[in-house]
Amino acid sequence: MLDKKRQTNLIRSSLKISTIEGSWWAVMYGMVEAYFSAFFEILRYSSFEISILTTFPLFIGACVQNLAYKFYHFFQSRKILLVALKFLQSLLIPTIYLVGIKLDNFFIFLIFISAYFAIALSQQSPWTSWMGYLVPSRLRGRYFGHRSQIIRISMLVSSLFAGVILNAFENNDPILGFGIIFIIGVIANFGSAYYLFSQYEPSYHSFEEKDEKIDLRDMKFEIIKKYISYDSFSELSFSISGPLMMVYWIRELNFNYLEIAILINASQLIGLFSMRYWGRKIDKIGTYPVIRFNSMWICLFPILWIIIYYLHDHLRLPLSLILASLASLLFSGRALAMDNRLYEHMNGKSMIKLTSKRVFYRGTAIFIGGFIGGLVSGINYSIDIYLFEIIKTGFHVVLFISFIIRSIIWIKFLRKVKGQV
């Protein structure tokens, strides 16, 4: 049994290590997951197929990740479980690449993508409960704000570098370009696993959670139920258009890989420098005001992306940069506030179970939204049904539907100044 001073030092050291671990994960994300949609595009899948490839695996992952709770009790260690999952995740990246370029079979490819996200999402619940134990409640806003800032720097640099690589190979051998960035992503994920293994983990019994049944209908979990409901419906509205945005940029706005990399990284830069601000803001005024204010403005972005389509070519990229940067600013603050809201109400017992429920409902909502978006985008519309002669493509219809549903959800859950979401 560690004395309190020794344990405090180990926790303080682990929080620093966790920030380093997150930066390695961010490199993997910037090299691999950030460009999955572009990889699907280069494999010549339709917008509906890309939407399914982007969202159905998240649904499968959300279902499978509930098993993380069982595996945790089997291993009796979050650390061993997470490192094992990262190792399997790393092996699947080159497998996905080879299956994609060698086999012209959508369903087999979908199986491997689903396996990847099942493993990736299974890491969320044990990691969340582990960090919930390590990070003092009074410091969570500032710590996660700082950690998110470092992660965004790593993600910014890696995704920009990946965009440069893809642009260099775009006209000669784009498939090879994806192979290079995916291998770099594998190496980075192994680095993440190494630093994760270096973190301090309390003994299994020191923060063991009771195997009690969680019923969201109980009054005890009324706030959690509202939180999960809002979170899930929001993700549904975002995923109607979100999975197709890179396809929209390529097909409708005619951006190349370098322009997409600039677009992603410029917006990430804004989000990066906003994280400490949002962390302090959350610690000062609380999570709900930030969620409410940011979500209100997030409703408008689908309409603004439609307007971008009608601008002159030389105006599209600079105004897209501004729009994407504003979106990153608001989504960053909202995401940080949502995560901290989760910690506020899920301290102590059954954190893994409750986090698993959140991930499951989010994954289900993302799949439903993505399915709707993919289905709608692939329909050939008659010019007679276009609204105000502005919505002229399937992508525009998708964006307009996303705007309507985002607005309805905001009115339903967040119109009141004080709420329990």
Q: CA torsion angle for 393, 397, 398, 404 (degrees, to 10)?
A: 160
What is the per-residue pLDDT across 8-51, written as a single tens digit (0 to 9) for each? Answer: 777 778 888 888 999 999 999 999 998 998 899 889 888 889 88
- pLDDT value of position 380: 60
What is the per-residue pLDDT across 125-139, written as a single tens digit (0 to 9) for each? Answer: 778 777 777 777 677
The closest alpha carbon to 236, from 117, 406, 33, belongs to 406
Mean pLDDT across 56-69: 75
Please state which of the ranges 8-12, 109-113, 263-267, 346-350 shows the lowest mean pLDDT: 346-350
Please state which of the ranges 72-86, 112-126, 302-316 shows the lowest mean pLDDT: 72-86
Q: CA torsion angle for 225, 228, 231, 232 (degrees, to 10)?
A: -110
Backbone torsion region of residue 389, taken as left when φ is above 0, otherwise alpha when ψ lies between -120 and 50, otherwise beta: left
pLDDT band for 211, please (50, 70, 90 cuts): very low
DSSP state of 350: T
Q: For residue 191, give both structure tokens.
A: 């680095």
Which range, 72-81, 141-150, 225-234, has the best average confidence (pLDDT)?
Answer: 225-234
CATH placement of domain 4-200+216-414: 1.20.1250.20
Domain ranges of the chain: 4-200+216-414
DSSP state of 253: S
The closest alpha carbon to 21, from 199, 200, 201, belongs to 199
What is the Cα Rg of the chain in Å? 21
Mean pLDDT across 362-366: 88
- pLDDT value of position 381: 53
Q: Measuring CA to CA, how many Å separate 382 from each of 386, 391, 393, 400?
A: 7, 11, 10, 16
pLDDT reading at 236 higher than 90: yes
pLDDT reading at 267 higher than 60: yes
pLDDT band for 387, please (50, 70, 90 cuts): low
d(CA 86, CA 190): 7
- pLDDT value of position 323: 93
In percent, how much of the chain has pLDDT > 70?
A: 84
The contacts of residue 110 (CB under 8 Å, 6+ apart) are 52, 53, 56, 57
The contacts of residue 106 (CB under 8 Å, 6+ apart) are 45, 49
Q: What is the pTM of this model?
A: 0.74
Lookup result for tokens 């630093």: 195
What is the per-residue pLDDT across 96-125, written as a single tens digit (0 to 9) for each? Answer: 999 999 988 999 999 999 999 888 888 877
Mean pLDDT of all residues in the chain? 82
Amino acid at 295: S
pLDDT reading at 206 higher than 60: no
- pLDDT value of position 221: 62
pLDDT band for 368, please (50, 70, 90 cuts): very high
pLDDT reading at 170 higher than 90: no
Which H, E and C letters describe 288-315, residue by residue?
Answer: HHHHHHHHHHHCCHHHHHHHHHCCCHHH
Which range, 55-64, 182-191, 271-280, has the best average confidence (pLDDT)?
Answer: 182-191
